[in-house]
C-alpha cells in the first residue's frame, strides 16, 4: 500500500479511537453530572492546554526522532491511559488521564502535519488533505450517533475497549510508512541549526521570516478559531438547557456537523481550482456568521442537526483550506516549527474563546454567546477582504 493511503488509514483509525474516548467522557462528565458547566470548562481547558504549552516539545521530538516513530509511540501510550479511564471512579484521576491522553493526541497531530508535506508533493496538498479529511469525516457522520448508542446500551467499558482497538490499527498503518521522505522539496534556502535547546524551543519567528505571507494566513485562521471555539463551548450548554436530550441525541447533532464537513472535502478541491482564495474565504465566513446567528433561535434538535450540516461544511472547508496553505508555504526545513506553532496557535485561540465564553455565560445566556460567535465569523470575512491582494498570490 502506498504511503499516501497508509497515512490516511493511520489518521482515520487514530481519530476514531479519539472519538470513542471523548464522547464517552462527555457523556459521563457533562450529560450525567449536575456541574455540567464546570466539567465542560475543565475538559475544554485540558483539550487546549497541551497545544499551548507542549507544542514546542513536540517540535523537538519530531526533529529528534522523526514523525513516524513519534506517531507509533504516542499511540502505544494511549493503551494504559484508556485502561485508567475504564477502571477509575475518581473524577480528578479521570481528568489527569485525559490530560495525558490529549497530550498524546497533540504529539500525533503535530507529527502527522509535519510528516504529510514530506510524503506528499506540495502541489497536491490541498487534494490530499481534502481526501484525508473526507474519509475521516465520512466515518464521523454516523460515528457519534453510533458511539452514543453504544455508550447507552453497552456501557463505557465496551466503548473504551473499541477505542484501544482503533489505536492498534493505527499503529499497524504507521509502521508501514517509509523511513525516508521522497516528496520533500527544497525551499531555496539553507539554514544553520541552532544547537541551543531553549532557542530551538521557541524559535517560531523563522518560518515567518522566510515567508511573510504566513502571517496573513494565521491572522485569518485566528478569526475562525475564535468563532469555532465559541460554538464548541456554547452549543452543548445551549442544547442541554433548551432541548434537554441525552448523549444519543447529541450524537445525532454531531453527526450532522460531520456530514457537512464531509461535503466540504468534496467541494474544496473544486472551489480551489475555480475561485480565488479571497472569494472562498470571504463568502464562507459570511455564511458561517449567518448560520450561528440562526442557530441561536432554534429550539428542536432536528433543526439544529440540519443547520449544523451547513456549519460543518463551512468551518471544515475553511479549516482544511487555511491549514493546507500554511503547510504549502512553510519552508521545508522549518516544517516542524511551523506545524508545532500551528497547534500552539490553535490551542491558544480555542482557550481564549473558551475562557471568554465561560465569563460571558456568567452574565448572559447561551443564545447570546452563539450570537457573539457569529460576530467573530463576520470579522473573519472582513479580514479576508482586507488582505485580498495578499491572498491573490496563493
Q: Which CATH class is domain 3-178+198-391?
A: mainly alpha
Whole-prediction pTM value? 0.67
Grid cell 433561535 — which residue? 297
Q: Domain extents for the chain?
A: 3-178+198-391
Alpha carbon of 1 to those of 4, 106, 140, 175, 294: distances in Å?
Answer: 8, 26, 24, 12, 45
Is residue 231 within 8 Å of 311, Cβ to Cβ? yes
pLDDT at residue number 333: 67
Instruction: Confirm if 228 and 291 have CB atoms less than 8 A apart.
Output: no
Give the contacts of 85 (CB within 8 A, at least 6 positions apart).
21, 24, 25, 94, 97, 98, 101, 160
Tens of each residue's pLDDT in the chain, 394 residues:
677 888 889 988 988 888 888 877 877 776 666 566 777 788 888 887 887 788 778 777 877 777 788 888 888 998 888 888 777 777 788 888 889 999 998 888 888 888 887 888 877 887 888 888 788 777 777 666 677 777 667 766 777 788 888 899 999 998 888 765 544 444 333 334 444 444 444 556 666 676 767 788 888 999 999 999 888 888 877 877 776 656 667 777 777 888 888 888 888 888 888 888 888 889 999 999 998 888 878 777 778 878 888 898 999 899 988 888 888 877 766 677 777 788 788 888 888 888 888 888 888 888 888 888 899 999 988 888 877 645 555 5
CA distance 322 to 147: 30
293-to-127, 226, 307, 314, 384 alpha-carbon distances in Å = 31, 15, 11, 14, 20
Burial tier of 92 (Cβ tally within 10 Å: 0-12, 13-18, 19+): exposed
pLDDT at residue 205, rounded to an integer: 67
Q: Report which of 345, 368, 355 is spatially closest to residue 295, judged by C-alpha positions.
A: 368
Residue 338 near residue 214, CB atoms below 8 Å:
yes
CA 332 → CA 116, 273, 327, distances in Å? 11, 24, 9
Name the DSSP class of 124.
Answer: G
- Residue 221 CA to residue 271 CA, distance in Å, equals 18
278-317 per-residue burial string, b: 16 or more CB within 10 A, e: under 16: bebbbebbbbbbbbbbebbebeebeebbebbbbbbbbbbb
pLDDT at 150: 76
Amino acid at each position: 500500500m502506498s504511503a499516501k493511503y497508509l497515512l490516511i488509514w493511520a489518521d482515520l483509525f487514530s481519530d476514531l479511537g479519539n472519538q470513542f474516548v471523548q464522547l464517552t467522557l462527555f457523556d459521563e462528565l457533562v450529560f450525567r453530572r449536575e456541574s455540567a458547566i464546570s466539567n465542560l470548562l475543565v475538559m475544554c481547558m485540558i483539550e487546549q492546554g497541551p497545544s499551548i504549552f507542549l507544542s514546542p516539545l513536540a517540535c523537538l521530538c519530531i526533529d529528534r526522532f522523526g514523525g513516524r516513530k513519534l506517531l507509533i509511540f504516542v499511540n502505544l501510550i494511549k493503551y494504559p491511559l484508556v485502561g485508567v479511564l475504564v477502571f477509575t471512579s475518581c473524577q480528578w484521576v479521570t481528568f489527569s488521564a485525559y490530560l495525558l491522553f490529549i497530550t498524546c493526541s497533540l504529539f500525533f497531530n503535530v507529527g502527522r502535519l509535519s510528516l504529510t508535506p514530506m510524503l506528499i508533493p506540495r502541489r497536491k496538498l490541498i487534494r490530499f488533505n481534502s481526501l484525508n479529511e473526507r474519509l475521516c469525516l465520512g466515518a464521523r457522520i454516523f460515528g457519534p450517533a453510533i458511539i452514543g448508542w453504544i455508550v447507552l446500551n453497552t456501557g463505557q467499558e465496551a466503548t473504551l475497549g473499541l477505542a484501544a482497538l482503533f489505536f492498534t490499527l493505527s499503529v499497524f498503518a504507521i509502521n508501514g510508512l517509509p523511513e525516508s521522505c521522497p516528496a520533500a522539496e527544497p525551499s531555496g534556502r539553507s539554514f544553520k541549526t541552532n544547537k541551543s535547546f531553549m532557542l530551538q524551543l521557541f524559535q517560531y519567528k523563522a518560518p515567518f521570516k522566510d515567508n511573510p505571507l504566513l502571517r496573513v494566513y494565521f491572522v485569518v485562521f485566528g478569526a475562525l478559531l475564535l468563532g469555532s471555539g465559541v460554538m464548541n463551548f456554547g452549543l452543548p450548554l445551549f442544547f442541554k438547557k433548551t432541548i434537554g436530550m441525552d448523549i444519543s441525541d447529541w450524537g445525532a447533532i454531531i453527526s450532522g456537523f460531520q456530514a457537512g464537513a464531509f461535503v466540504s472535502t468534496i467541494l474544496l478541491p473544486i472551489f480551489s481550482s475555480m475561485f480565488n482564495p479571497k472569494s472562498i474565504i470571504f463568502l464562507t465566513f459570511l455564511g458561517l456568521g449567518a448560520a450561528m446567528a440562526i442557530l441561536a433561535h432554534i429550539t428542536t434538535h432536528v433543526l439544529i442537526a440540519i443547520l449544523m450540516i451547513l456549519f460543518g461544511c463551512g468551518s471544515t472547508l475553511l479549516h482544511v483550506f487555511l491549514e493546507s496553505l500554511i503547510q504549502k508555504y512553510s519552508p521545508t526545513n522549518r516544517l516542524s516549527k511551523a506545524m508545532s506553532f500551528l497547534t500552539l496557535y490553535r490551542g491558544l485561540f480555542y482557550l481564549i474563546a473558551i475562557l471568554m465564553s465561560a465569563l460571558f455565560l456568567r452574565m448572559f445566556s447561551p443564545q447570546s454567546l452563539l450570537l457573539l460567535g457569529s460576530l467573530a465569523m463576520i470579522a473573519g470575512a472582513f479580514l479576508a477582504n482586507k488582505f485580498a491582494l495578499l491572498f491573490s498570490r496563493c
